Amino acid sequence: MKSLYKISVLLLALGLLSCEENDGIPEAVPSTSLPTNTANFLMINAVPGGPSLDFYVNGVKTGASLTSAQGQQGYSAVTITTPGAIANTSIRAKATTGSIGGVLGSRDAIYRAGNTNVNNLVASPNARYTFIVLDSITRPAPVRTFSLNALNVLAADQTYLVRATGQQITRDQWLALASDADRNKAASLGTVPAGSTDLGGVRFLLLTDTYPTFAGGNTTQSAIRFVNAVPNAYSLPTNTRISVRLKPTSTGSNITLATNAEYIMSTAGGHNPTVGSRATTVAFPLRTTATGVLESEQIEYVIEVSTDAFTTIAYTSSPVKFAVGKIYTIVATGLAGGTGANALSAAVVQHN
């Protein structure tokens, strides 16, 4: 019987010896530092009648608070973990106090990229981004009535909002209206169709900024681009479009930045119906705005905004100068025909 005990002990020992620890789990070599990549962000508040806005990148307030028709001066460099296949850098604007109001109410304006309505900005290292918060907070949300016709949203089939009724109509329906007067009663919703997730009102426009190249030895030029952020600058007829120019306060020539420009959301971005945000690029044309590099050699201008191709001037800014080698964006804001907080205006931001 002793042999049985021996066999038992032997089996037990063999069994225990056969137990092996898990393998396939090596020592980890984790990262030891936070990301160092940065991208550059700048925001412009172009919302007619809107409140003061704060700008958040990845949940962190970035740059100064902005009242309506005001832009941040210079970019803020923000650390990014990017790029990835999807969602990376979250962008939002929220009221400094209270709520944005209008269509969004207590909600924030959120930048939405891609076509699933939830993607973030895929920011690239060292890239420069200008975010313009625009559109009217008083504009009603689109009536999200199901309409197959409204889903055909190619460029020739933009969607229009009949302001009096809140009804959305297609471009074809809009063209079929009896007169320009009737057509003037409808605002373009750009390429946003009925049934989109576009809430109307406040939304983001993203401009990915590529700096121009100044000629060597440049002593007279700056770079100035123009963006029409006036939401009721209808695409037709022409007399409701926006014209903007720089008019010297003393000597020199006018610099016309735009004539009969459409609301930028009418043309910006893709066709996708589910995204309220839009993204595009606007080049920085070189302008001769000085006679020399000294501040005293910069020409002083006022910015004039017109809704009738400069027949009448709806807005004239305070005098402003443009430094040689510097890069600017001028944004027309407000509403055509607007008064008070909704009056036409122009914001100037300096990028570098």
Partner 1 sequence: MRKILLLVILMAASVALWAQGVTSASMSGKVTDQNKAEIPGANIVAIHQPSGTQYGNASRADGFYNIQGMRVGGPYTIKVSFIGYKEQVKENIYLQLGQNLVVDFSLVDEATQLEEIVISGATDPILNSDKIGASSNFAVSQIQRLPSIGRDFRDFSSLTPQAGGNFSFGGRSNLYNNLTIDGATQNNVFGLSPIPAGQSNTTPFSLDAIQEVTIQLSPYDLRQGNFTGAGVSAVTRSGTNELSGSAYYFARNESLAGKKVDGIETPIPSFDFKNFGFRLGGPIIKNKLFFFVNAEFEKRTDPAYTFTVRPAGSTSQAANQSQATDDDDPLTGLAGLRQFLIDNYNYDPGVYKDFSRATESQRYVARFDYNINKNHKLTVRGNITNAFQDVPPSTSGGFVGGPPGGRGNNNNVLSFSSSYYRINNNQSSVTAELNSSFRNGLFTNNLVVGYSSFRDYRQDAGGINTPNIPLVDILGPNGQMLTSFGPDPFTPNNKLDQNVFQINDFFSAYLKNHTITVGTANELYTFNNVFTQIVNGVYRYNSLADFYGDATPSQTANFRPAQYTVQYVGVPGGPSATAAKWSALQLGFFAQDEYTAIQNVKITAGIRVDIPTYLTDLPQNRYVNSLNLNGEQLRVGGWPTVRPLYSPRVGVNWDVKGDRTTQVRGGTGLLTGRIPFVWLSNAVSNNGLFFGQFNSTAVPFDVTGDGFPYNYSQTPYTANSELFSNLASGTPQLITNPLDPNFGRPAVTAGINAVAKDFRFPQVWRTNLAVDQKLPGGIVGTLEWIFTKDINAVLMRDANLRPAVGTLQGDGRPLYGAVGANRTIIANDRRLSGDITQALVLDNTDKGYQWSVTAQFAKTFNENFQLTAAYTYTDSREVNPQSGSTAGGIFSSQANVLGPNNSGQSFAATLVPHRIVAYGTYRKEYLRHFATTVGFTYIGNSGNNFSYTYNGDPNSDGTNGNDLIYIPRTREEILLTTTNANDNRSLDEIWNQLDSYIEQDPYLSKRRGKFAERNGAYAPWVNRLNLSLLQDFYMDVKGKRQTIQLSLNLENALNLFDSGAGLIKNAARPQLLNFVGYEQPHTAGSLGQPVANAGPASTLGLPWAATTGRPIYTFNTNADGTALSNSFINNTGVAGRWQLQFGVRYIF
Q: How far is the CB of 144 from partner 1 (least distance, A)?
A: 7
Q: Which has the closest alpha carbon to 218: 321, 282, 285, 287?
A: 287
Residue 42 or 113 having the CB closest to partner 1 = 113
Task: Decide: is 185 part of the binding site for partner 1 (CB under 8 A).
Answer: no
- How big, in percent rounded to 5, are the helix, strand and coil portions of the chain? 15, 30, 55
The SS3 call for residue 66 is strand
Task: Decide: is 179 part of the binding site for partner 1 (CB under 8 A).
Answer: no
Residue partners of 1: CB distance under 8 A and separation at least 6: none
Q: How far is the CB of 96 from partner 1 (least distance, A)?
A: 16
Q: How far is the CB of 147 from partner 1 (least distance, A)?
A: 8
Residue 24 or 216 having the CB closest to partner 1 = 24
Q: How far is the CB of 201 from partner 1 (least distance, A)?
A: 16
Task: Decide: is 289 part of the binding site for partner 1 (CB under 8 A).
Answer: no
Residue span 137-176 as binding mask against partner 1, x where in contact by CB under 8 A, dash where not: -------x-x-xx-xxxx----------------------
Q: How far is the CB of 191 from partner 1 (least distance, A)?
A: 11
Helix (H) or strand (E) holding 288: strand 286-288
Contact 201, 190 (CB under 8 A): no
Candidate residues 24, 216, 217, 340; the one interacting with partner 1 per rule CB under 8 A: 24
Candidate residues 72, 120, 298, 333; the one interacting with partner 1 per rule CB under 8 A: 120
Residue 44 or 110 having the CB closest to partner 1 = 110
Residue partners of 347: CB distance under 8 A and separation at least 6: 44, 45, 46, 69, 70, 71, 330, 331, 333
Task: Decide: is 13 part of the binding site for partner 1 (CB under 8 A).
Answer: no
Contact 203, 135 (CB under 8 A): yes
Can you say how many angstroms the Cα of residue 166 is from the centroid of all Cα atoms in its chain? 25
Task: Decide: is 215 part of the binding site for partner 1 (CB under 8 A).
Answer: no
Candidate residues 55, 56, 129, 301; the one interacting with partner 1 per rule CB under 8 A: 56
Task: Decide: is 271 part of the binding site for partner 1 (CB under 8 A).
Answer: yes
Q: How far is the CB of 87 from partner 1 (least distance, A)?
A: 5
Contact 46, 132 (CB under 8 A): yes
Task: Decide: is 92 part of the binding site for partner 1 (CB under 8 A).
Answer: yes
Measured CA distances, 170 to 97, 191, 241, 262, 275 (Å) = 37, 10, 20, 18, 18
User: DSSP letters along 177-234, please?
Assistant: SS-HHHHHTEEE-TTPPTT-S--SSSEEEEEEE----PPTT--SEEEEEEEE--TT--
Task: Decide: is 245 part of the binding site for partner 1 (CB under 8 A).
Answer: no
Q: How far is the CB of 25 from partner 1 (least distance, A)?
A: 5
Task: Decide: is 197 part of the binding site for partner 1 (CB under 8 A).
Answer: yes
